[in-house]
Structure formats: C-alpha cells, structure tokens
C-alpha cells in the first residue's frame, strides 16, 4: 500500500500522500469523496434530460465536483475519473486479470439461456484463456493484413451502393442516413472476416434477417443503461427486460446459424477428403481449443463489438471531412499519391498514409466510441490521486470529458487531424492517456486491428472516389449516448463522383 500511495505515474517522481480527514492515519478514502446521490443522479438523467447525452453529463459534473467524484447509479456506487493523470493511475494498477465491470445484465442473460461468456463478459483466469485463444488472428499484423482483400471486396460493394443510393435520391449525389448505410457495411465487413461469409447487407434490397439483427443490436445498447438502474431482483418485472432478452436472443440466433453453417462446410470437405482452409472461424473450429458453445459466445460478442465501432467512427469522419474541405483535400492528395488510379490499397499502402491515420485518430478523440469505460479493482486496493480505494471499487473512466479538456487538447472542440502527426509540437506534448479509444493493456479492444484496417481501407477509397459535401439543409448533428456514442439524428451527405473513368 505504501508503495502505491507514493508513486506518481505521470512523472515517475515520488511524493508522500498528503494527510487528510478520512480514516485513522489521515488517509482519504471513498467516504471522503463528494458527488451526487441516487436521487440527484435520477434528476440529472430524467428531469434535466441528460439520459441521451450522458457524455455531456461527465463534463458538467466535473465542473461541479472536480476530476474525481462518486455517484450512485441504481445499486452501484461508481467512482468517476475525469483527468488524464488519474485515468492513467487507474489503468496502470489494473492487475493481471483486469475487469471492465461485471456487466451484470449481460451476464444474467447468458445464465438465463445457458450461453457461454465471451471476451466482453468473462472475467479472471477464464477471460485470460479466451483472450489468449482469440488474440493471434485478431491482433497479429500478418494475420490482420491478410483480411485486406476480403474487406476491399466489401468496400467495392459499398461504393457501388453509394452510387446507387445517390441515383435513387435524385440528383445523383445525396445519400441519406450515412450512419445507417455504414452500419450495413460494418456488419458485412465483420461477418466476412469472422464467418468468412457474405450477408447481403449491401444488396439493393437488404435481407430481412440482417435488418432485424441491426435493430436488435441497437435495442440491446439502448436498453442496457436502463436495466442497470434497477436491482437484479426487479429485472424480470421490468417492461423492457423482455425486449432486452429478445434482442440478445436474436443476436445469438444469427451467430449460431453462421457457426453451424461453417461447421457443415468444414465437415463436407472432410467427408470429401478435401483440404480445409479458412480464416477466423475455421481456425477456431479446427484448433479445438474452445467448445462450440464457447466459440458461439465469443463470436457473438466480437460481432457485436465490430459493427457500431466502425460505422459510427466513419460516419463522424465523413461528417467532419464534409465540414472541413481543406482537411478533405489534404487527405485526398495523400491517398492519391500513395495509391493512384484504381489500385486497391493494402496494409503496406496504409502504412504510408499518416494523415489518413490522423483523421481517424482525431475522429475517435472527438467522438470516442465508448464515451465512458469501466474498471473494477480486483487484485489490490489502489491509490488514485490522494485517495485509497479498496478492492472491488468500480471506476468510471470519463474518456469523453478528458478528450474534450482544453488543458489536454488545445482547441479541443475543433477537428484538427494534424495534432496527431509525428514531429508536431502538440503531438510531442500530448498526454498518452488523453485519448485512449481502444482501451489500454491486456483488456484493450480485441478487434482494434481489424476495425482500423476496415476504417482505413473504406475511408481512403471513399475519399479517392468521392468529394464529400455537407447536407445542403445545413443540419448540425450532435452525438448522443446509447451505451456507445452515436449520431443524434441522421447524417445526410452529398457524394460527388470524382471518378470519371474509374472502376
């Protein structure tokens, strides 16, 4: 405890913890932290109207309570952390088996239906085992780069869909609800990688099953924060618990159908004594390191995590590029120089596009996919700031608040990708925990590399093919929180085809 209390992670310097009121010996504890009561939190959410904009509630409450405060959220006591230094301290003390939160509502569904936990819901040594099996094909560059041709096929289909949508809308340029269209792209892309299977999301007529899957993901994320407001014993009696369970039922149904379809394909090849080759799911099934039930639990969660992340980020990127034509032109020049004509980009090309990566990085700073992340201290009591917290403390890391903090990012509300370029003064001064969109450490986002590859390939090809302009109606789109950060209204954009003669 003494060692933790005296280590300052940001500078590496050593400081004695200041004395205070708290427990014997003057140490501050969670009891000394200020913050709103449960009734006050309900007032913020439902009377002041912050339920759909909980990311902004972080900003407003930090002004009142400072960078560290506690709040009651239903049966939970949450310690909110809203400074880059303090977030770093929490994450650097997370132990061997870090826990985001026990995800009680997600875990309860799996118990109800006897489904296995996956990388988002499993904990402890069991979680570490799953991650060690799933990691290589998701995070190793040589495996991830092999998905480029598969993703490029989906990008080609999406470009054709953009052209078709523009023609349908009249004038040949307007695409309505870009986020909705990109959701279909992301679902198609992640299914192509995970299941080695095309779902028809980018057809002129999208299959009903796919539309229902997209709706179910949205419902599950929308209802999640409502369910956890109530204690577990009340869940079966809540009117929206049934909807929550139905949403999960459909997600597992779709994943189960895809897993069994792949198993049949493999078995048919074995029966015919043909060699069995494939990517992600084939590898998991053939390795026999996980049971089919475990594979289903993991694949469902990977599928879930791989759709909103990509679609929302590219939606916001295109929205900002339309608002900032100078940034868009610079990106176009870079992409055209590295990958001219109709040449398809691959991982090697992407490595030569630092501005493309900076555009995505800046988008993720302004619109972090998860506006607030959670950590539960499992192994030890830890020191954060001047406070000593016991084991099992639930921390809420306020990423949105920190990434919009003027003391961390100058002109924090401006879209400035150049702040991420190496060699710039701002980049050299940046706090490494000012924006951590994919998390940190062993519990960092499993699908990060695949999501980045999808976003780089899609955005580079879209900007090379189209000039993107704002909605002529001049509609401003702000974010809302639906567990994840989403556009509050449809993003409508104009896509002007640059590509006379391009395929």
pLDDT surpassing 60 at residue 199: yes
Tell me if 57 is assigned to some domain: no
Quick count: other Cβ atoms within 10 Å of Cβ 177? Answer: 16
Tell me if 34 is assigned to some domain: no
| 3-class secondary structure, 357 | helix
Range of the structural domain that residue 268 is part of: 83-497
pLDDT surpassing 50 at residue 123: yes
Task: Tell me what the mean pLDDT of segment 336-341 comes to.
Answer: 93
Range with top average pLDDT, 91-95, 219-223, 331-335, 495-499: 331-335
Tell me if 312 is assigned to some domain: yes
Cα torsion 99, 105, 106, 109 to 10°: value is: 140
Distance from C-alpha of 470 to C-alpha of 324, rounded to nearest angstrom: 9
Tell me if 237 is assigned to some domain: yes
pLDDT surpassing 70 at residue 13: no
- 370 vs 143, residue with greater confidence: 370
Residue 101 · residue 74 · CB < 8 Å: no
pLDDT at 98: 74
pLDDT at 500: 46
Structural tokens at position 245: 């369970």
CA 91 to chain centre: 18
Residue with tokens 């092999």: 146
Task: Tell me what the mean pLDDT of segment 437-462 comes to.
Answer: 89
Point out which residues pair with 494 in neighbouring strands. Answer: 174, 469
Structural tokens at position 351: 């490595």
Tell me if 55 is assigned to some domain: no
Task: Tell me what the mean pLDDT of segment 328-338 comes to.
Answer: 97
Least Cα distance to 210 among 223, 235, 191 occurs for 191
Q: Pairing mode, if any, of strands 466-469 and 382-384?
A: unpaired
pLDDT at 53: 94
For the four alpha carbons of 408, 414, 415 and 420, in that order, the dihedral sign comes to negative
Structural tokens at position 191: 């299914």
Distance from C-alpha of 119 to C-alpha of 388, rounded to nearest angstrom: 29
The total domain count for the chain is 1
Tell me if 458 is assigned to some domain: yes
Confidence of residue 16 (pLDDT cuts 50, 70, 90): very low
pLDDT surpassing 70 at residue 320: yes
Distance from C-alpha of 217 to C-alpha of 221, rounded to nearest angstrom: 6
Confidence of residue 15 (pLDDT cuts 50, 70, 90): very low
Least Cα distance to 281 among 303, 304, 252, 306 occurs for 303
pLDDT at 170: 63
Distance from C-alpha of 280 to C-alpha of 221, rounded to nearest angstrom: 26
Percent of the chain with pLDDT over 90: 60
Tell me if 169 is assigned to some domain: yes
Point out which residues pair with 79 in neighbouring strands. Answer: 70, 395
pLDDT surpassing 50 at residue 154: yes
User: Domain holding 191: CATH number?
Assistant: 1.10.630.10
Distance from C-alpha of 297 to C-alpha of 117, rounded to nearest angstrom: 5
Structural tokens at position 483: 């567990």
445 a known binding residue? yes
Point out which residues pair with 486 in neighbouring strands. Answer: 480
| 3-class secondary structure, 247 | helix
In this predicted structure, which of 105-114, 186-195, 355-364 has the lowest mean pLDDT? 186-195
Quick count: other Cβ atoms within 10 Å of Cβ 202? Answer: 24
Tell me if 340 is assigned to some domain: yes
Task: Tell me what the mean pLDDT of segment 146-162 comes to.
Answer: 95
Q: State phi, psi for 145 to the nearest 5 degrees.
A: -65, -25
pLDDT at 303: 84
pLDDT at 448: 85
Least Cα distance to 1 among 396, 383, 435, 497 occurs for 383
Quick count: other Cβ atoms within 10 Å of Cβ 111? Answer: 9
Distance from C-alpha of 12 to C-alpha of 100, rounded to nearest angstrom: 26
Quick count: other Cβ atoms within 10 Å of Cβ 210? Answer: 19
Distance from C-alpha of 136 to C-alpha of 127, rounded to nearest angstrom: 15
| 3-class secondary structure, 487 | strand
């Amino acid at each position: 405890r003494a060692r933790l209390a005296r280590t300052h992670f940001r500078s590496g310097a050593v400081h004695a913890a200041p004395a205070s009121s708290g427990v014997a010996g003057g140490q501050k504890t969670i009891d000394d932290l200020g913050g709103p009561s449960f009734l006050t939190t309900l007032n913020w959410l439902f009377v002041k109207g912050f339920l759909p904009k909980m990311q902004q509630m972080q900003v407003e409450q930090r002004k009142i309570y400072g960078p560290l405060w506690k709040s009651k959220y239903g049966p939970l006591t949450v310690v909110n952390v809203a400074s880059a230094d303090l977030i770093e301290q929490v994450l650097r003390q997370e132990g061997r088996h870090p826990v985001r939160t026990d995800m009680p509502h997600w875990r309860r569904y799996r118990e109800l239906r006897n489904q296995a936990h996956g990388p988002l819901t499993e904990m402890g040594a069991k979680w570490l085992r799953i991650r060690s099996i799933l990691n290589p094909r998701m995070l190793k560059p040589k495996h991830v780069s092999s998905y480029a041709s598969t993703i490029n096929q989906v990008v080609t289909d999406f470009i054709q869909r953009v052209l078709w949508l523009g023609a349908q809308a009249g004038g040949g340029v307007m695409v309505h609800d870009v986020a909705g269209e990109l959701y279909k792209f992301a679902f198609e892309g992640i299914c192509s990688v995970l299941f080695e299977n095309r779902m028809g999301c980018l057809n002129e007529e999208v299959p009903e099953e796919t539309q229902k899957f997209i709706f179910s993901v949205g419902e599950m994320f929308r209802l999640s924060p409502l369910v956890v407001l109530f204690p577990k014993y009340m869940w079966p009696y809540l009117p929206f618990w049934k909807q929550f369970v139905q949403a999960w039922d459909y997600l597992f149904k779709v994943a189960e159908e895809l897993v069994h379809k792949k198993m049949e394909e493999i078995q048919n090849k074995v029966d015919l004594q043909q060699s069995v080759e494939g990517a992600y799911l084939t590898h998991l099934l053939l390795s026999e390191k996980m049971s089919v039930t475990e594979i289903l639990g993991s694949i469902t969660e990977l599928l879930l995590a791989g759709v909103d992340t990509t679609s929302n980020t590219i939606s916001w990127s295109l929205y900002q590029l339309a608002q900032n034509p100078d940034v868009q032109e610079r990106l176009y020049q870079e992409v055209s120089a590295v990958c001219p004509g109709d040449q398809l980009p691959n991982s090697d090309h992407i490595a030569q596009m630092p501005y493309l990566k900076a555009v995505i990085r800046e988008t993720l700073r302004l619109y972090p996919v998860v506006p607030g992340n959670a950590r539960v201290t499992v192994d030890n009591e830890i020191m954060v700031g001047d406070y000593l917290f016991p084991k099992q403390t639930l921390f809420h890391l306020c990423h949105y608040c920190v990434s919009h903090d003027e003391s961390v990012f100058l002109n924090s509300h401006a879209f400035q990708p150049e702040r991420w370029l190496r060699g710039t003064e701002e980049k050299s001064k940046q706090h490494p925990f000012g924006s951590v969109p994919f998390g940190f450490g062993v519990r960092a986002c499993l699908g990060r590399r695949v999501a980045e590859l999808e976003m780089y390939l899609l955005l580079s090809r879209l900007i090379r093919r189209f000039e993107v302009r704002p909605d002529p109606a001049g509609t401003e789109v702000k974010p809302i929180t639906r567990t994840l950060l989403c556009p509050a209204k449809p993003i409508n954009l104009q896509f002007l085809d640059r590509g006379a003669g391009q395929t």
